[in-house]
Amino acid sequence: MEPNADKLRGLCITSLDDEDDDETELPNQPLPASTVTVAAAASGYDDGDEDEEAEVMLGFLEKPKHPGLLLRHLFPSKAGGIPAWLDPVNLPTGNSSCCGFCGEPLHFVLQIYAPIESNAAAFHRTLFMFMCPSMACLHRDQHKQWTRNQGNPRRSVRVFRCQLPRTNVFYSSEPPSRNNSDKPLCAGAALCHWCGTWKGDKICGGCKKSRYCSEKHQALHWRSGHKNDCLQIINSSEASSSVLPAVGKVPARTSWPEYQIAIDDEVDLDSD
């Protein structure tokens, strides 16, 4: 990604589909919109009531007091780092996890925990946003939207929604205590050892331990040091636990800086 973030401000990536979204779709379902506004819809606001003004919620980036506060079983809202998948098993795969222009795996941008109290199926609900780090792909995406071509649109930005009922196989039905005793009920799918984002359905042919979401990430991991680590794993079973990344740990240069998103209601300010 180009270092000058100001170039992002000129982009206007919008929805290609004006149809209402069905809140009962499958977990980690891609949404038609390419941008997320955290507004009253997250709390069950009915946009059909014209007499009541939408209640807007604002998000503020903060350095996390402790990385453990951003794990998936604590239902975080966060930006950067790697996603804390709400459903850790049924992850997006195939073309849905890649840029529609260059075909490279998308980078995680942010996620917002936005449950709907009035919907039992959305007791837990998180929105995930991903984008291609290539500015060229973002500009091509913007140009394609101007053409309004409805046939098989390609996107460089994707948003997924995942929702679960209160009683599910992944988490306790009781609220987390947040005293370091909270644990998920089961492990998630094996993730890519390079990006830590997408499902690692490809396995290193040498050590049979490292997993990857794409051939590109396997090549990057190989060149960054796995070439030597792979031999260690093959020659010593004890080395496998020391040379493979720990769960939730990926090379720092593969993701953007991690922040917690603190969410608060928007307030009206007087003239002063």
Give residue-wise pLDDT tens across range 197-216.
Answer: 999 999 998 888 889 999 88
d(CA 61, CA 258): 9
Which pLDDT score is estimated for 232?
78
Residue 94 CA from chain centroid, whole number = 15
Q: Looking at the domain assignment, is residue 227 inside a domain?
A: no
d(CA 272, CA 138): 40
Is there a contact between 221 and 213 (Cβ–Cβ < 8 Å)? no
Q: Looking at the domain assignment, is residue 197 inside a domain?
A: no
Which pLDDT score is estimated for 13?
52
Which pLDDT score is estimated for 261?
95
| Phi, psi angles (nearest 5°) of residue 252 | -60, -30
Q: Looking at the domain assignment, is residue 115 inside a domain?
A: yes
Q: Looking at the domain assignment, is residue 72 inside a domain?
A: yes
Q: Looking at the domain assignment, is residue 119 inside a domain?
A: yes
176 lies in which domain range? 59-146+153-188+257-263
* Half-sphere CA count of 68, side-chain side, radius 13 A: 8
For residue 81 the two structure tokens come to: 């780092």
Q: Looking at the domain assignment, is residue 32 inside a domain?
A: no
SS3 212: strand
Is there a contact between 78 and 110 (Cβ–Cβ < 8 Å)? yes
* Half-sphere CA count of 122, side-chain side, radius 13 A: 22
Mean pLDDT of 94-115: 93
List helix spans (H) across the chain.
Answer: 135-147, 215-221, 227-235, 240-243
Percent of the chain having pLDDT more than 90?
40
How many domains does the chain divide into?
A: 1
Is the per-residue pLDDT at 114 higher than 80?
yes
Name the DSSP class of 224.
Answer: I
Is the per-residue pLDDT at 97 higher than 90?
yes
Is there a contact between 84 and 71 (Cβ–Cβ < 8 Å)? yes
Q: Looking at the domain assignment, is residue 99 inside a domain?
A: yes
Is the per-residue pLDDT at 21 higher than 50?
no
> In angstroms, what is the C-alpha Rg of the chain?
20
pLDDT band at 272 (very low <50, low <70, confident <90, very high): low
Torsion sign over Cα 238, 239, 240, 241:
positive
Q: Looking at the domain assignment, is residue 105 inside a domain?
A: yes
| Phi, psi angles (nearest 5°) of residue 110 | -160, 165
Which pLDDT score is estimated for 240?
47
Which pLDDT score is estimated for 77?
96
